[in-house]
Structure 1
Amino acid sequence: MTNGVFGGDRTKKQSFLGGSCVLLASALVTKIIGALFKLPLTNLLGGGGMGYFSCAYGLFLPVYALSITGLTTAVAKLTAERAALEDHAALRRILKLSLWSFSLMGLLGTGAILLLAKPFCRYVAENPDAYLSVLVLAPAILLGCVSAVFRGYYEGLRTMYPTGLSQLAEALTKLVCGLGLCRYALTHPAVVLRYLPPGTTPLAAASAAAVLGVTLSCAAGTLFLILRHVCIWDGIPALPRQKPSPVSDRALYRALFAVLIPVAAGSLITNLTNLIDLATGMHCLNTAIRKAPVSFAARFADDSAPDPAALANFIFGSFSGLAVTIFNLVPSLTNMFGKGAIPAIAAAHAEQNRSAMQQDSAAAMLATGFLAFPAGLGISVLAQPILQLLYPQRAAEILAAAPSLQCLGPGVIFLALTFPLFSMLQAVGHAPTTVRIMGVGVCCKLAGNLLLIPLPRIHIAGAALSTTLCYLVTFLLALYAYQKKTGVKLGIMLFLKPAYGGMLCAAAAAFSYSLLLGRLGNNLALPAAICMGGCVYLFAMWLMGIRLATLRGRT
């Protein structure tokens, strides 16, 4: 096979670890840039403004998942299989068919957002001021569909650079446009409100301006991928030199949608956890506040506390804007190991190479656990210091979000470990299994919210507890299903060593922080404690025999 088939830049095909590292590096950079966007944004908007911002995402993410998330996986899997068989003609047709089909799907998704925005904000989320934020996010559905096709195509060819660079373009655009537009709306409210519907508040306008920056970032990423594909050869031989493909267009469509439908449904169900929080959080918080109004008034009695009438929106915005932002950081990075494993495991499955599947599966899970355990446990023990470092001017928001972040720490681990399991199940043709598993998890999430959030002593921390329970159940079921359906063995020692090392890391970090806080203050004591915990963790893993070689898949 020619190297160019897998290398859109005329490079050799990337191994599982190589591809994962490219995605991980790009994700790390984009997450740093994303933090530079989200942290100042939260400090600008506060709990109330982040309530509007989160409401937009509550409706956007399920539609995005249904129309976009499965596309990259479906296109990548089918492309990897055809490339492994050197069916070059089919590769061109996969790209063409996917672009036409999924652009139409993107238009439908955008239309759904536009139609559902007002009734959703008014009757489901009970947050009508978030309407503008939802509207300006709608075009991102169409743009995301186009970019997802190109990303899946090149990931299937096992070159991850287009995905990484397009994510970087998106992150930079979001940082510049999102913060710039939000700040302008806050500092020039009279100018901005002239062009908005009567009754729009300055905070709602600023939230919509920030969301507009997100839509513009999707446009930037899509434009980069289109220009790159037009200007740079993808490595596939020219049409006159291609052999006719034995696969018809109808068969390609069937193969695409056989993966897309269950993957998209599974991703939809996954994102329903956000929608469940939005649909039940405000209502259940109002119930808790009515049960103990004096307790809530005393808890948020300082000058930075919101108006009592907006208390539920403030608490929910603090939870989603502060705690959930930190919670999502680690899984979004470790998810790259699952995405990087898809082409390698799909190819090994097509070749019926059980040994290769075992090696790459173990490498993906160990690499994920290597990062997830110390990060998740560290977040739990240092939740309040982390929030104080990132949001020093938001004392009331920290008070609302810190208990939730402590409860979300273990959930970080379970969610991070679930991602590669789902990716590998999808790669070997068992995508419907992920839908059923996530359905069980979503039921746990819904039940937990309804039972725990109305309790005044727990309130929004109940959403965090139910999230952790949801992903614990999901992880255990996914681990059992993958081993049963593939015969791959992922023993307990694969998780026990990083778990033990993670506990040592968290204990060392917490102990160091308590010693250094009085002398250095939070801003210096926290980074020093994290470094101390990291050193203890790396030394413990070295003693237990975890080396870079053990994290590698096939080269």
Structure 2
Amino acid sequence: MADTPRNRKTKKDDYIVQGTILAAAVVITKVIGVVYRIPLTNILGDEGNGFYGYAYQVYAIALMLSSLSLPTAVSKLVSARVAAGERRNAFRVFVCSLVFAAVVGLVVSLAIFFGAGAVSEYMMRAPLSAYALRVLAPGLLIVAVMAVLRGYFQGLGTMMPTAISQIIEQIINAVVSIVGASVLFGMGTRAGEKAGEELLGPAYGAAGGTLGTVLGALAGLLFLLFVLWAFRGGIRRQLRRDRRSREETYSHILKALVLTAVPVIFSTAIYNINQILDLTIFNHIMDAQGFTEQQYMSLQGIYTGKYDPLINVPMSIPYALSSSIVPSLTAVVMAKNKKKTYYQIDQTLRLTTIITIPSCVGFIALASPLMVLLYNDDSATPANLLMMGAIVIVLYGWSTITNSVLQGLNYMSTPAKNAAIALVVHLIAFVIMMTVFRMNVYALAAGNIVFSLVMAFLNQRKIHQVCGFRVNIKKTFLKPILASLIMGIITYAVHFGLDRLIGGRVIPTVVAILIAMAVYVVLILKMGAVSDDDVESLPMGARILRVCRRLHLMPEPADLDI
């Protein structure tokens, strides 16, 4: 597909810049998450991580119902009104959404707090997870309000408040989680000795770990409120200047919010419920197959405490890009600019695969060294899980971006329908893998592959049907795959050589990762998978492009595929 001519970019055109800012922040938070999970995993042990991971999955479902759809819905509604010059109505969307989020967040928070015991005992088959779930409950109200603030800023075209708030949130989360887990693990161990319950220590420790999630969210919310207060003067001036728009009623806005949010809730719900269903089915089948609670919670702890945090680091980048493309694509679609619509979709999809494919190959090449580096775990199960599930990064990345593309094209319900189909196929496959093939914990990773593959295929087919967009296979897939395979071979060879020469946990793996990054960047630039316009779309893009030209990393424009 041809690149559009590089015109002077306006504020509405910098979706890649904003997406990159948010992606950088999300990667930082995910890296912090991986780093702090190392001491947290060591404190809790595999059993404690099982309680922590399971409670967090239920929390994720409740979070999805109360707030996860709100940033997308609010940003879409706000950006549509800003594009039409209706600043006053955009602010009314924010006010209405804030009240809605506070009410829904409070109801869901109370339901989880008082229902934690029943959920843990009858649904989870892990009654001691109730401690962690009760601690997490207040966070649902906090995150619901915070989600609206983030959506409002995103709709105005800036990801910076969201990005900074996420970093603050994660730093507080990391510190409090480690301290809370350590203190409460000791308290639980002593209480368990008196009560004759050996898993009480890990259960209390998991509750202490989740305390960081709540206080981190509170810190992020306070920062966003400060930003809103700091820019209150500018917002008031914009509202006073808006004399053209007819004031929308709050009832009309609420209806639009619900109609926009509900399809997003359903698609997000299925994404998240797929995990909690897997873990629930896993526990029940493992129990029926004769495994003890300690055994299957330990395996689940490996999956949620070691595999998931690593996989989620590169998967966070497509999520960040998807957050920026919804309001931007909404404005382009409203302007009925088909050429620019194609261009935005193509650019976002290419950047997604350029990031996710090398991440997948890198995890396969360095699966065991990464587990040893981060968790000092040289056993086969965590490394095999990572190698087996690495392809999920590419598939989930594609399905996440295509979800947002469909939402930007105003096909809000399609991702939910596709996710429902993918869920049914996934559950059938998962049960077969657990019962017939007895794949044990590996079925969790394999099930995710099935779900994300079906979802990505259905989404892409729908995009082609509704707007005629076709993927540039060579630039989107073949070039990143070739560059990634060369990178993977070099990475494995470098680690193998350094491991034989000097050994150790840190140096061979870190050096191999750094060389892998450098090799891939050079290859992907030399192959022409990234255009001049792609580079210029990045923060400080013009400067980066000049450096690339000086180092002869970019092919001449005539050599690029058109």
Aligned residue-pair number: 525
Match of 1:258? 259
Offset of 1:448 from its aligned partner? 2.5
Confirm or deny: 8 A CA contact 2:70 2:147 kept in the other structure.
Answer: yes
3-state SS, counterpart of residue 349 of structure 2: helix
Aligned-partner residue type, residue 271 of structure 1: N
Aligned partners of 1:320, 1:28: CA distance in 2, in Å?
Answer: 18
Among candidates 352, 355, 363, match of residue 379 of structure 1: 363
Match of 1:505? 487
Aligned partners of 2:536, 2:516: CA distance in 1, in Å?
Answer: 27
Residue 407 (str. 1) matches residue 391 (str. 2): no
Deviations 1:437-479 (A, max 9, x none): 1112212321232111346763111111111121111111111
Q: How does 1:184-203 map to 2 (within 5 A)?
A: 184-187=183-186, 189=188, 201-203=200-202
Of stretches 230-239 and 30-39 in structure 1, the one that deviates more from structure 2 is 230-239
Q: How does 1:80-159 map to 2 (within 5 A)?
A: 80-159=79-158
3-state SS, counterpart of residue 128 of structure 2: helix
Distance 1:456 1:417, change over 3 A: closer
Distance 1:453 1:520, change over 3 A: farther
Match of 1:466? 447
Aligned-partner residue type, residue 356 of structure 2: A
3-state SS, counterpart of residue 453 of structure 1: helix
Aligned partners of 1:97, 1:193: CA distance in 2, in Å?
Answer: 47
3-state SS, counterpart of residue 431 of structure 1: coil
Aligned partners of 2:532, 2:327: CA distance in 1, in Å?
Answer: 20
Aligned partners of 2:271, 2:239: CA distance in 1, in Å?
Answer: 40
Residue 429 (str. 1) matches residue 430 (str. 2): no
Match of 1:304? none
Deviations 1:317-342 (A, max 9, x none): 11111111211111112311111112
Aligned-partner residue type, residue 366 of structure 1: R
Aligned partners of 2:345, 2:240: CA distance in 1, in Å?
Answer: 39
Confirm or deny: 8 A CA contact 2:299 2:441 kept in the other structure.
Answer: yes
Deviations 1:356-388 (A, max 9, x none): 111111111111111100001221232122111
Of stretches 456-465 and 273-282 in structure 1, the one that deviates more from structure 2 is 456-465
3-state SS, counterpart of residue 69 of structure 2: helix
Aligned partners of 1:228, 1:193: CA distance in 2, in Å?
Answer: 45
Aligned identity (percent) is 24
Among candidates 418, 421, 430, match of residue 449 of structure 1: 430
Aligned partners of 2:256, 2:189: CA distance in 1, in Å?
Answer: 54
Offset of 1:486 from its aligned partner? 2.3
Can you give the 5+ residue segments of structure 2 that lack an aligned partner in the other structure? 1-9, 539-562
Offset of 1:539 from its aligned partner? 2.8
Aligned partners of 2:86, 2:525: CA distance in 1, in Å?
Answer: 44
Among candidates 510, 524, 528, match of residue 507 of structure 2: 524
Match of 2:211? 212
Offset of 1:525 from its aligned partner? 1.8
Residue 352 (str. 1) matches residue 331 (str. 2): no
Confirm or deny: 8 A CA contact 1:156 1:343 kept in the other structure.
Answer: yes
Match of 2:558? none
Distance 1:177 1:152, change over 3 A: same
Aligned partners of 2:441, 2:533: CA distance in 1, in Å?
Answer: 40
3-state SS, counterpart of residue 458 of structure 1: coil
Residue 486 (str. 1) matches residue 485 (str. 2): no
3-state SS, counterpart of residue 232 of structure 2: coil
Of stretches 309-318 and 153-162 in structure 1, the one that deviates more from structure 2 is 309-318
Deviations 1:260-301 (A, max 9, x none): 0000111000001211222111122334556xxxxxxxxxxx
Match of 1:368? 352
Normalised TM-score (structure 1) = 0.89
Aligned partners of 1:209, 1:192: CA distance in 2, in Å?
Answer: 15
Q: CA RMSD in A?
A: 2.5
Confirm or deny: 8 A CA contact 1:508 1:533 kept in the other structure.
Answer: yes
Normalised TM-score (structure 2) = 0.88
Confirm or deny: 8 A CA contact 2:12 2:328 kept in the other structure.
Answer: no
Confirm or deny: 8 A CA contact 1:359 1:554 kept in the other structure.
Answer: no
Offset of 1:516 from its aligned partner? 2.7
Aligned partners of 1:289, 1:385: CA distance in 2, in Å?
Answer: 33
Offset of 1:509 from its aligned partner? 1.6
Match of 1:280? 281
3-state SS, counterpart of residue 159 of structure 1: coil
Confirm or deny: 8 A CA contact 1:411 1:471 kept in the other structure.
Answer: yes
Offset of 1:250 from its aligned partner? 3.1
Aligned partners of 1:519, 1:457: CA distance in 2, in Å?
Answer: 40
Confirm or deny: 8 A CA contact 2:16 2:537 kept in the other structure.
Answer: yes
Confirm or deny: 8 A CA contact 2:47 2:294 kept in the other structure.
Answer: yes
Offset of 1:138 from its aligned partner? 0.7
Can you give the 5+ residue segments of structure 1 that lack an aligned partner in the other structure? 1-10, 291-307
Match of 1:178? 177
Confirm or deny: 8 A CA contact 1:349 1:428 kept in the other structure.
Answer: yes
Offset of 1:187 from its aligned partner? 4.4
Confirm or deny: 8 A CA contact 2:191 2:200 kept in the other structure.
Answer: no
Aligned-partner residue type, residue 530 of structure 1: I
Offset of 1:511 from its aligned partner? 2.8
Offset of 1:242 from its aligned partner? 2.7
Offset of 1:104 from its aligned partner? 0.7
